[in-house]
Amino acid sequence: MTRHQIVASVLGADYMRLGDELAELEAAGVDGVQWDVMDGRFVPNLTFGADVVAAGRERVDLPFEAHLMIEEPERYVSEYVRAGCDTVIVHAEATVHLHRTLGLIAEAGAKPAVAINPATPVEAIRDVLGDIDLLLIMTVNPGFGGQSFIRSMLPKIARARAMLDQIGSTARLEVDGGIKAHTIGDAARAGADVFISGSGILGHPDGKAAAVRQLRHVLEAEAGAA
């Protein structure tokens, strides 16, 4: 059985103490960090440039993934790889030549990954499944943290898992949006194995370590019931 992974989004972090936030996430036991990169065009928000990611790379040894919620992501792939991102995620809706863009990521030395928004059918990226290391199903509409999990995405996660299994893919299946203790189990049952949690970890009343323990406890219970 593939080990479940919990990856923290730092979208809702305290940016004045971002280095400390990263160190606390590492100490809490997350499996990686996701940088939600937004351009104010593809999504209605602005966030991290590659220089911020590079500064964070100096503070922790955790794997980094860049979630490029930007138009024409192919223009910036190399910057985020140089900044220290091990995985680069691009949206199928944001690049005209998706196959070419995934190839650019691989050529730059990172793991290529593709994300799809809630309204995009998983069948739209069927023909690039053999070219990715990770498929991200958005369980909220991208652009803001703290949104509620869209439960109608559960059948879509299951379809994505079936499609990956059908071609014998080893790509991870990631979900992002509204992942907390009361939703992570449903996403795991549907077939996801990587879980992005932002406010579920950063905003937990008992702190980051308690949040990660709680999420892992739910995942372990699901694994035991399977």
Catalytic residues: 36, 176
Do 10 and 43 form a contact (C-beta atoms < 8 A)?
A: no
Q: How far apart are CA 28 and CA 26, in angstroms?
A: 5
Tokens, residue 171: 């790509």
Report whether 88 contacts 110 (CB < 8 A).
yes
Q: Are 58 and 90 a contacting pair, CB within 8 Å? A: no
* Residue in this structure with the two tokens 């019931």, named with its chain if needed: 225
Indicate the burial class of 130 (C-beta count within 10 angstroms; 0-12, 13-18, 19 or more): exposed
β-bridge partners, 172:
134
Under 8 Å between Cβ of 76 and 63: no
